[in-house]
Amino acid sequence: MKQTSIALFFLLSAFSVTTQATAGDDLKLTETDDTIRVMLRGKPVLQYIKKAQPVPEGTPEYFKRSGYIHPVYTPTGQELTGDYPADHAHQHALFFAWVKSKFNGQKVDFWNQAKDLGRIEFREVVNLRREERKVAFTVKHAFMVKDGDKWIDALHETWTVTVHQTPADHFLFDIVSVQQCASDKPLGLAEYHYGGMAIRGNYQWLKEKEDHSIDPGELKFLTSEGYDRWEGNHTRPNWVAFSGKIDDQDVSAAVFCSPKNFRAPQPVRIHPNKPYFCFAPMVEGAFKIEPGKQYVSRYRYLVTSNATEANMIQKHWNDYARLEK
């Protein structure tokens, strides 16, 4: 599986039309008609989806989406993320979506695509750039709602994704999301138990039964407060880590919530049996994204090919928190 995934990555690169590329040290960033890809020392780190990918056979077309990251790779080549999962086809790897919201008096849901109450799409690439020991790209998204029989923009969003030069044992990247109203109307977010910046893990980690047993190699969660996936749900940690085996290889990832974020440390929704979680500030109550004001979210991602090492994650968190303050 690992070799197949990497081979497919290079095959797609070979047959795509490259429009722009930039490199920094051992980092390479390449834009094609459909994607933006980042590699480090010849290994894939992540891929951003500009053009909605074909849905799996039997999956309705309304689950198509652009403007997210998949796959996120581990240093040994496993696909950490999952896209169009059979149980929840609206969960797209590393993505941002609001759930229970309201725009111009209408109910809106950008997360649950089957409801057809909201859409998110990629709009344009703002830039690709090389900096010292890192490469970055900025892209624009639109959050759309229905207005009669047409779709209009409710929010405009930019993502700036920065991938850092790192030693061979880990990958490190940041995402900064900036959302602004597309008109003079706010977007209201109701109190709810999930929604926001999310990550869906590999399909191999799905548990069919909602039990608290963890067999060797199955997905484990750990928060900065020492909680697991059941105790950690709706707590407010600085970071959440998850680990397990993919194709018999140990892998792990940790996601850091910037201390600058709204309601930081933000509450997290950790699902009891599905391999996903999200930072969900609306757990603490309703709020609005107001015209003329930016809603900024910042997160850092640490990916390894080892089981979770809490001390190493905490060291990375300390470094990140010092930069963000």
Residue 191 belongs to a domain with what CATH number? 2.70.98
Q: What is the pLDDT of residues 227-256, one digit of tens each?
A: 999 999 999 999 999 999 999 999 999 999
Q: Give the span between the Cα atoms of 297 and 26, in whole angstroms.
A: 28
Specify the higher pLDDT residue, 21 or 73: 73
Q: Give the span between the Cα atoms of 150 and 312, in whole angstroms.
A: 50
pTM of the predicted protein model: 0.92
* Residue 288: predicted pLDDT: 98
* Residue 156: predicted pLDDT: 98
Percent of the chain with pLDDT strictly greater than 70: 92
* Residue 19: predicted pLDDT: 47
Q: Is 218 exposed, middle or buried (0-12, 13-18, 19+ CB in 10 A)?
A: middle
Q: What is the pLDDT of residues 198-235, one digit of tens each?
A: 999 999 998 776 677 788 888 999 999 999 999 999 99
Extended strands (E) in 132-231: 134-147, 150-164, 170-181, 187-189, 196-200, 220-223
Assess contact for 278 and 268: CB atoms under 8 A: yes
- Distances in Å between the Cα of 241 and the Cα atoms of 22, 51, 114, 272, 276 are 31, 29, 29, 15, 11
* Residue 8: predicted pLDDT: 47
* Residue 24: predicted pLDDT: 56
* Residue 27: predicted pLDDT: 96
Q: What is the pLDDT of residues 150-165, one digit of tens each?
A: 999 999 999 999 999 9
pLDDT above 50: residue 16: no
Dig out the tokens for 63 from the structure.
Answer: 């689950």
pLDDT above 50: residue 9: no
Q: What is the pLDDT of residues 53-93, one digit of tens each?
A: 899 998 999 999 999 999 999 999 999 999 998 888 899 99
Determine the average pLDDT of the residues in 312-317: 98
Task: Please give the tally of structural domains in the chain.
Answer: 1
Q: What is the pLDDT of residues 261-295, one digit of tens each?
A: 999 999 999 999 899 999 999 999 999 999 999 99
Domain that holds residue 251: 2-324
Assess contact for 257 and 280: CB atoms under 8 A: no
